């Protein structure tokens, strides 16, 4: 028996045809949409918000879709989960983590009739689209507001892992903060977890004890924001509107809002207009939203609103040159701006950020 790719593909499609479960074939059947989640749906962060998006899509499209969701799928299980989804008649599969990007490429090749969408992926193919939101725009606004609120001129950042998404977010927070006050500084703690409330809280305590009086968080739980409330400082919510967790500390939240995107993509499948795309939606796309500003005085609020407007109309570009890295090298010159791939793969801190690059 040979092991050529052609045979593997032939085998896979033969299997798909022979399976006991019917493939969704007829046109008026509801569209089967699958979601593969990296965490448990109850993480109250990244995976919860994808679940919220899925339910929003069901709401919008009603009987036209049926959805399936598999939680906490580890990399070795990914291929099997996707194959089972495909065999159960799922035609559109959202894989919601970068950890799934390589395996999604592989499965997209194996199932040419199934359309895939990978969140935070970096390349497309015939039946693979990628999508993400420009969360860094929210980070820029957080930086601006933090600089307006801070007395100690120190921002604390509870970070999960040093991935480009987090690194460019830290850089952007400081870009925003420096636009108000060039003396702003930042301290970062890596929690080495996307959600571990206890450690997030301890990290927040450490940052506050070191003199930070505005907390940004790049982890899922409301623990850092609650700590900010308890200690009488300020903070931002992550993934959903966390105002209720910290009525006196909350400034704004970045809300992940995938529902409209999911609904639009599923509708495109139904209409037969689905095409692979690289969607990286900013504030204007609605893929992420800001919770209403709280605990800002009118002057601070209007400053923040001006920044929001500037980001929306493009007059503020968080990645405009000149950008100088920690080593003092100019990454991009004045008058130019980083392209999307450079933002996506960012692995350096800007000059003036006194944080060492882990790993």
Cβ proximity to other proteins, 206 vs 270, nearer residue:
206
| Residue of 29, 109, 230, 260 that binds other proteins (CB under 8 A) | 230
Distance CA 28, CA 54 (A): 21
Residue 122 makes contact with other proteins by CB under 8 A: yes
Cβ proximity to other proteins, 69 vs 172, nearer residue:
69
Distance CA 298, CA 128 (A): 46
Residue 213 makes contact with other proteins by CB under 8 A: no
For residue 185, what is the enclosing H or E element?
strand 185-190
Shortest distance (Å) from residue 48 CB to other proteins: 7
Number of H helices, E strands in the chain: 11, 14
For residue 31, what is the enclosing H or E element?
strand 31-36
| Residue of 178, 205, 279, 324 that binds other proteins (CB under 8 A) | 205
| Residue of 152, 179, 192, 289 that binds other proteins (CB under 8 A) | 192
Shortest distance (Å) from residue 71 CB to other proteins: 4
Residue 156 makes contact with other proteins by CB under 8 A: yes
Place of tokens 């701006």: 337
Report the alpha-carbon angle 110-114-117, nearest 5: 100
Could you tell me the CA-to-CA distances from 43 to 50, 52, 132, 215, 331 in Å, in that order?
A: 11, 12, 19, 20, 37
DSSP structure string for 52-86 = HHHHHHHHHHGGGEEEEEE-S--HHHHHHHHHHHH
Beta partners for 108? Answer: none
Residue 327 makes contact with other proteins by CB under 8 A: no
| Residue of 125, 344, 351, 352 that binds other proteins (CB under 8 A) | 344
Residue 339 makes contact with other proteins by CB under 8 A: no
Cβ proximity to other proteins, 7 vs 302, nearer residue:
7
Contacts 24+ apart (CB under 8 A), 176-179: 176/139, 176/140, 176/141, 176/142, 176/143, 176/144, 176/146, 176/147, 176/307, 176/318, 177/143, 177/144, 177/146, 177/147, 178/143, 178/147, 178/352, 179/143, 179/144, 179/147, 179/307
Applying CB under 8 A, which part among 36-44, 139-147, 265-273, 277-285 lies near other proteins?
Answer: 36-44
Report the alpha-carbon angle 101-106-112, nearest 5: 115
Residue 220 makes contact with other proteins by CB under 8 A: yes
Cβ proximity to other proteins, 112 vs 358, nearer residue:
358
- 232 token code pair: 């009488």
Applying CB under 8 A, which part among 22-30, 41-49, 262-270, 291-299 lies near other proteins?
Answer: 41-49
Cβ proximity to other proteins, 12 vs 264, nearer residue:
12
Interacting positions 237-276 with other proteins (CB under 8 A): 240, 244-245
Helix axes 197-209, 223-231, angle to 10 degrees: 40
Q: What is the DSSP letter of 284?
A: G
Residue 101 makes contact with other proteins by CB under 8 A: yes
Sign of torsion, CA 139 142 144 147?
negative
Shortest distance (Å) from residue 318 CB to other proteins: 18
Interacting positions 52-81 with other proteins (CB under 8 A): 68-77, 79-81
Torsion, Cα 299 305 307 310, to 10 degrees, reads: -140
Cβ proximity to other proteins, 84 vs 295, nearer residue:
84
| Residue of 53, 138, 176, 222 that binds other proteins (CB under 8 A) | 222
| Residue of 138, 143, 162, 318 that binds other proteins (CB under 8 A) | 162
Shortest distance (Å) from residue 354 CB to other proteins: 6
Cβ proximity to other proteins, 83 vs 252, nearer residue:
83
| Residue of 30, 60, 179, 196 that binds other proteins (CB under 8 A) | 196
């Amino acid at each position: 028996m040979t092991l050529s790719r052609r045979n593997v593909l032939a085998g896979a499609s033969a299997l798909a045809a022979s399976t006991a479960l019917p493939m969704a074939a007829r046109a008026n059947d509801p569209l089967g949409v699958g979601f593969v989640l990296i965490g448990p749906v109850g993480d109250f962060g990244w995976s919860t918000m994808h679940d919220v998006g899925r339910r929003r899509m069901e709401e919008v499209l009603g009987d036209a879709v049926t959805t399936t969701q598999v939680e906490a799928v580890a990399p070795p299980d990914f291929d099997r989960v996707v194959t089972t989804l495909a065999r159960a008649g799922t035609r559109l599969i959202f894989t919601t983590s970068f950890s799934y990007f390589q395996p999604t490429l592989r499965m997209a090749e194996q199932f040419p009739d199934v359309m895939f969408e990978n969140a935070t992926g970096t390349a497309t193919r015939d039946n693979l689209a990628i999508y993400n939101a420009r969360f860094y725009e929210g980070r820029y606004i957080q930086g601006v507001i933090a600089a307006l609120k801070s007395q100690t001129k120190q921002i604390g950042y509870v970070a999960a892992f040093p991935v480009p998404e987090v690194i460019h977010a830290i850089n952007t927070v400081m870009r925003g903060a420096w636009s108000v006050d060039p003396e702003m500084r930042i301290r970062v703690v890596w929690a080495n977890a996307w959600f571990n409330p206890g450690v997030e809280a301890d990290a927040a305590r450490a940052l506050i004890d070191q003199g930070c009086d505005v907390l940004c968080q790049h982890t899922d739980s409301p623990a850092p924001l609650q700590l900010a409330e308890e200690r009488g400082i300020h903070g931002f919510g992550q993934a959903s509107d966390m105002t209720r967790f910290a009525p006196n500390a909350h400034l704004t939240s970045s809300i992940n809002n995938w529902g409209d995107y999911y609904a639009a993509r599923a509708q495109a499948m139904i209409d037969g207009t689905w095409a692979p795309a690289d969607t990286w939606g900013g504030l204007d796309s609605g893929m992420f939203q800001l919770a209403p500003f709280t605990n800002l005085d009118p002057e601070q609020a209007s400053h923040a609103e001006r920044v929001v407007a500037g980001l929306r109309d493009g007059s503020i570009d968080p990645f405009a040159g000149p950008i100088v890295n920690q080593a003092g090298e100019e990454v991009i010159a004045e008058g130019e701006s980083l392209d999307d791939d450079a933002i996506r793969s960012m692995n350096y801190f800007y000059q003036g950020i006194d944080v060492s690059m882990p790993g």
